[in-house]
Amino acid sequence: MRDNGIANLIEVDTNYLNFGTFYPGKIFKCNLALTNITEHSHIVSVSFDNTNPQFEEAQLPKNHAPDKTPLANSEITNNCWYFMLSPTNKTFDKSFSASLAPRETIQFGVVIKSPCINYPQKFFSLINISLSEEDIMSQLLDSNKNKLVVLSEAEVITPKLECYKELIHDPTGLKIVPLVIKCDGAIQRLRVPFKNAGSRDLELTLNVLRYPVPDESSEPLAVCRCLPNTVKIPSGSISFISICVSQITKEIQGKREQKVLLAKVKDTLMMYSYILDCSFIA
């Protein structure tokens, strides 16, 4: 053995996990593998760094240090990193220990559960890999070589949805989409253009509700619904959301009614809302 370092006992398949970019509320997983490269069994401990509020360049794995240091430790600020020990184990853990037989390799998932934020943000955390205190070799390692470090990086971006027919109500800041509906009793299909101005494809689940919440005794003038109720808008593209309007009462000419269009980003808690200002004409 050339020195008393853990790198002569345990090998990690990478010292940098890049989760890429994704929307708030998403859960993403990358796999990490550890190998016992000796002829003896070892017990390893794996955990996220939860002691340093920020990381200096000297603490980061070589050749993978981001441009800007120091970095905030998102495990402390956002508590968003977890481990999954196997594809079948859906339990999130902050740390674990595992026994590795001679020449054995184990694979586990590293998970980021993005917080629901309304602004872009990068997340960084360090995964510390060391021998467990139960392993007799842990007492023999050099203090400056007793730990392997893996940098985890992820970036949360926010979707950008724009409606080409929207107006802004200055007092409230609400987005209003005016709709003109003919009073002929027929079901009308109105197409409203939306643009995905973000850098990733956008999948939306659509719903139309009455606005404001009416008294139970009041009867709506018309029913609005989106058909289909899901839409996928590629990045930088324009798509139309179809709103079907069916008249309920007869005497509605010259009247107005408001609905709210809710567009929820698939698999997240992010939602866009638009007030549909419906005007009924002959």
The pLDDT tens digits for 138-189 are 888 888 889 999 999 999 888 899 999 999 877 778 899 999 988 877 888 9
Residue 1 is predicted with a pLDDT of 42
> Given CA atoms 216, 217, 218, 221 in this order, what sign does their dihedral have?
positive
Cα separation of 37 and 102, whole Å?
Answer: 7
pTM over 0.85: no
Give the pair of three-digit tokens for residue 154: 């992820």
Residue 22 is predicted with a pLDDT of 85
CATH top-level class of 161-281 = mainly beta
More confident residue, 133 or 91: 133
- 3: three-class secondary structure by DSSP: coil
Residue 34 is predicted with a pLDDT of 96
* Residue 276 pLDDT exceeds 80: yes
Amino acid in the structure at residue 273? S
- Position of tokens 């990381």? 55
CATH superfamily of 6-156: Immunoglobulins (2.60.40.10)
Domain ranges of the chain: 6-156, 161-281
Parallel, antiparallel or unpaired: strands 148-156 and 16-22: parallel
Q: Note whether 6-156 and 161-281 share their fold.
A: yes
Please, are residues 272 and 251 in contact by the beta-carbon 8 Å criterion? no
